[in-house]
A and B are shown apart, each in its own frame.
Chain A
Amino acid sequence: MRFQLNFKSGKPVYLQMVDQVKAAVAAGALRDGEPLPSIRPLAEELRVNRNTVAKAYTELEAQGVIETLAGKGCFVRAAASPLRKDARVRLLAESVDEAVVQAHHLQIDKSEFVRLAEDRFDRFADQRDRAARG
């Protein structure tokens, strides 16, 4: 798992980490039961405060993406979201809304947007298949 942080994106650094772990899990780059790097070496490598990494891991744990085993570290959890379906849909709707606003600014129309969404879905499915075979 490689993180790429961008201080110029305006998005809180810990949220960038949260999203990247979630993306890695979705793409199969991180599989169930695999460990995440421990906090201090990762903080040093990324040149961020340990508080930032700790906050990202706490958030990932709250979202049910990872679990912490005392004395052992953080591990990717089997994909069983603790949230009910409607809550999960609502969460996703927020992200889709952002993307729709962005599409509007970039003059991407609805059909193009939907096509893009399908493409991205397929790409993740491909990556996941390859990761599973790999």
Chain B
Amino acid sequence: MNADTPAIAIDRLRRRFGANDAVNGLTLNVPRGSCYGFFGRNGAGKTTTIKCLLDLLRPTAGTVRVFGMDPARDEVEVKSRLAYVPDNVAFYPWMTVRDTLDYFASFRRKWNAETERALLDRFQLDLWRKTGHLSKGQRTQLALTAAICGEPELLVLDEPTSGLDPIVRREFIQTVIGAFQDADPGQRTVFVSTHLIAEFEGLIDRFTIIEKGRELLTLEADSARERYKKVHARFASEPADLDVAGARVMRRRGREIELLVNGNAADVLARLSAQSPETLTTEALTLEEIFVTTLQPGPAV
């Protein structure tokens, strides 16, 4: 296999349920070594797409490839190279944490006992506790630990932080992704689906926003923050004819105006400064704000 083969390649994927297309012509490529965000509202088609990657669902049309392989034909090979953590993890409740990890390890060719020890320590998981007695947060910590100890090349996370304590979740996602990627820098890929985007702000290299089963926007996180800007201007008096073509007016009150621009900030700023504003500031949108803007109906920016 070529080193440039994407970790995930999805081409015009369609998956129909009855009369509805849950995924409708989705195309995306996840480069190896990246941390890729798959953003969409509930029901946008994220989980259906992930299930096609894992051969839990078969595509109605289009193709999915994992490391260049077809998950339906090369099921074992694909599954041995990835680990998947669903949003609601179920363990056998009568097994202890130790039993559960051993059980997971029994399916894996490799098992990194050192990573296991480090993460159990960090999360302070009690090895002898039955999984049925773990909190939701602890169950997710256990699932993530089990996922990365098998040293997969691709980690697929479906809403890993939903329903968790907001203080805990950011930290442990960071810990797990850090431990996972650091073990083989540049080669380990994370594909994370979520609608809680703020938590992944610094982690995401590249992302796709999906809506109604289709790709709406794919960008590098850095370029996205360079492109989408909020511009705020205050004038000495209310400007009579302000040319804000190419920008979306977010708020306009008397002498103040707040605009949203997409890629043409310089142009809009030049026109605003021609009106000699008292103050003129710009700031980048966060990934979450970009997500909201992209999904918001209204004049295009």
Contacts and interface: CB of A to CB of B under 8 A. Distances in A.
A43 B202 CA distance: 9
A12 B174 contact: no
Given A10-B283, A47-B202, A52-B202, A39 B222 contact: no
Interface string B213-240: 0000000001001100100000000000
B204 interface: yes
Contacts of B125: none
Nearest to A50: B181
A48 B202 CA distance: 4
A5 B222 CA distance: 13
B269 interface: yes
Contact of B185 (A13, A44, A50, A52): A50
Interface in A92-130: 104-105
Given A49-B35, A51-B33, A51-B35, A105 B273 contact: yes
Contacts of B203: 47-49
* Size class of the contact patch on chain A: 20 to 34
A40 B182 CA distance: 7
Contact of B226 (A10, A43, A47, A54): A10
A8 interface: yes
Interface of A: 5, 7-14, 39-40, 43-44, 46-52, 54, 104-105
What are the 8 tightest A-B residue pairs by CB atom distance, in nearest-first order?
A: A10-B284, A48-B202, A12-B222, A8-B283, A40-B182, A47-B202, A49-B203, A8-B284
30 contacts: A5-B202, A7-B201, A7-B202, A8-B285, A8-B286, A9-B283, A10-B226, A10-B283, A10-B284, A12-B222, A12-B225, A13-B202, A13-B222, A39-B185, A40-B178, A43-B178, A44-B174, A44-B178, A47-B201, A49-B181, A49-B203, A50-B181, A50-B182, A50-B185, A51-B34, A51-B186, A52-B202, A54-B185, A54-B186, A105-B280
Interface of B: 33-35, 170, 174-175, 177-179, 181-182, 185-186, 201-205, 222, 225-226, 229, 269, 273, 280, 282-286
